[in-house]
Amino acid sequence: MFANYVIAVRHSLRPWLAVLALMTFLPLTFMAVSSAEAASTHSSCHAPRLIGLTVSAARNRAKTSHCELRLKGASVRMAKIQTIHAQSARPGSIRKLLSVTVNPLCPGSSEIGPPRGEPLLTPGPTVLNTGLFIEGGAFIYRSAPVCKNLVGTSSAGTITVTSAGGTVIANKMTVNAGQELEIALNAGQYTVTGVFAGGNNVGPVTVTVLAGDTVRQDLVLPVP
């Protein structure tokens, strides 16, 4: 009789043991599913194009695209000015982590002049490249991969080129904003003068043109 009682107890405990096992297993299953869903959400980053954006804009776009953003390169001091130079993944690709390279801050004047070190000589046709530049103005910050390589754009106006003997080679040739004049010359020494569209005169600048060289010599109007 005692053996029958034990068997009856065992049979009555089985449903409860099954319930306890189910209660123990379900939270683990839920946690596993939740972890998988979280991993799936985290890996659903479709890399947006961030090159050229400010750090602030890049952060917002990465957040919208569910991307974790890692910043490399220059230290971020002004997120609304510093820009993104490169990114680790092409736009549209799926990534868990997106790394970008930040450009440094470049302090300087609001008006940037021509390239440094003029006159600049390069092998090529015997040509003078010249434009009209304003240089100076208020102190501001920019962002670029290499600060020393920042170059301004030419203003509109006219340029005159005169030979060493006083002969006018190019008389008041029009230069458009953002462009430069390319003037074919014989080897020799020349004087270059200009007038901005607003009426400001600039020059004279003397430049020597060598055979087989293209010379860049711009006219610069400094402003406070």
Is the confidence at residue 197, as pLDDT, over 90?
A: yes
Write out pLDDT tens, residues 180-194.
999 999 999 999 999
pLDDT above 90: percentage of residues in the chain: 79
**By C-alpha distance, which of 118, 103, 105, 106 is closest to 50?**
103
pLDDT band at 35; cut points 50, 70, 90: very low
State mean pLDDT over 88-94: 93
Is the confidence at residue 179, as pLDDT, over 80?
A: yes
Is the confidence at residue 145, as pLDDT, over 90?
A: yes
pLDDT above 70: percentage of residues in the chain: 81
Instruction: Give me 96's structure tokens.
Output: 């868990």
Domain of residue 70, residue span: 45-103
Task: Say if residue 88 is in the same domain as residue 191.
Answer: no
Per-residue burial over 22-54, b if 16 or more Cβ lie within 10 Å, else e, is: eeeeeeeeeeeeeeeeeeeeeeebebbebeebb
pLDDT value at residue 95: 85
Task: Say if residue 114 is in the same domain as residue 181.
Answer: yes
Q: For the whole prediction, is pTM greater than 0.85?
A: no
Domain total for the chain? 3
Is the confidence at residue 58, as pLDDT, over 70?
A: yes
pLDDT band at 14; cut points 50, 70, 90: low
**Tell me, what CATH number does 121's domain have?**
2.60.40.10
Per the rule left: phi > 0, alpha: psi between -120 and 50, beta: everything else, 139 is beta
Task: Say if residue 36 is in the same domain as residue 61.
Answer: no
Task: Say if residue 184 is in the same domain as residue 153.
Answer: yes
Rg (CA), the chain: 35
Q: Which residue has the higher pLDDT, 42 or 136?
A: 136
State mean pLDDT over 124-151: 96
Listed as own residue / partner, the contacts of 201-207 with beta carbons closer than 8 Å and 24 or more positions apart are 202/132, 207/119, 207/128
pLDDT value at residue 43: 57
